[in-house]
Amino acid sequence: MIPHVFNLQNCLALSLLLVLIGSFGVFRRHSLIMILLSVEVMLNGVNLSLVAFNYFRWGTSETSHYLYMLSIGVAAVEAAVGLSMIIVLFKNFNDITRERISRLGERSA
C-alpha cells in the first residue's frame, strides 16, 4: 500500500525545505553569482507553494498561475540587473567575493 503523500502539507514542507536550503547557500557562499543562484533556489520554493495552494485550496481559478508568471518576470529582471552589476564589479575590482565588495572600494589595510 502506497502512503498518501501528494497533499498540500507535503508540498508546503518541500517548499519550506527549498527556502531553507537557499538561505543556507546565501549565508555560506562567497561569490556573488552563487548568492544569486541560492536566491533562485528560494524563489523556486516560493513558486511551488503558490501553485500548490492554488491546486489544493482554490480550484476554481488560476490566479496563482498568474502570480507565478509575475514572479518569474521579477526573477528575470533581478537576474539581469544583478549579473550586469556583477560584471561591472568584476571590471573594477577584478574580484566578486562578498568580502571584497563589503569594503566598498577602500583598499585593504
Partner 1 sequence: MPVSPLVEITFALSALVILLASLAVVLIKNPVRATLMLILSFLPTSLIYILLQASFVGILQILVYAGAIMMLFTFVIMMINPSPNEGDAPAGGSESAFTGLRGGLVGFLIIGLAGTMVIPMIYHAAASLPVQAVTKPHFGELSSIAALLFEDPANNPLTVSFELISFLILVGIIAALNFSRRKGGQTVDEDSISTRPTEALPIVKRQSGIEAMERK
Q: Closest Cα to residue 11, out of 42, 46, 41?
A: 46
Q: How far apart are CA 28 and CA 34, in angstroms?
A: 10
Cell of 88: 561591472
Instruction: Report 79-108 residues binding partner 1 (CB under 8 A).
Output: 79-81, 83-88, 90-92, 94, 96-97, 99-100, 108
Cell of 39: 536566491
Q: How far apart are CA 63 and CA 50, in angstroms?
A: 9
Cell of 3: 502512503
Nearer to partner 1, 3 or 104 (CB): 3
Instruction: Report 28-87 residues binding partner 1 (CB under 8 A).
Output: 28-31, 33-34, 36-38, 40-41, 44, 48, 51-63, 65-66, 68-70, 72-81, 83-87
Q: What is the closest distance, in whole angstroms, from the C-beta atom of residue 65 to partner 1 in the complex?
A: 5
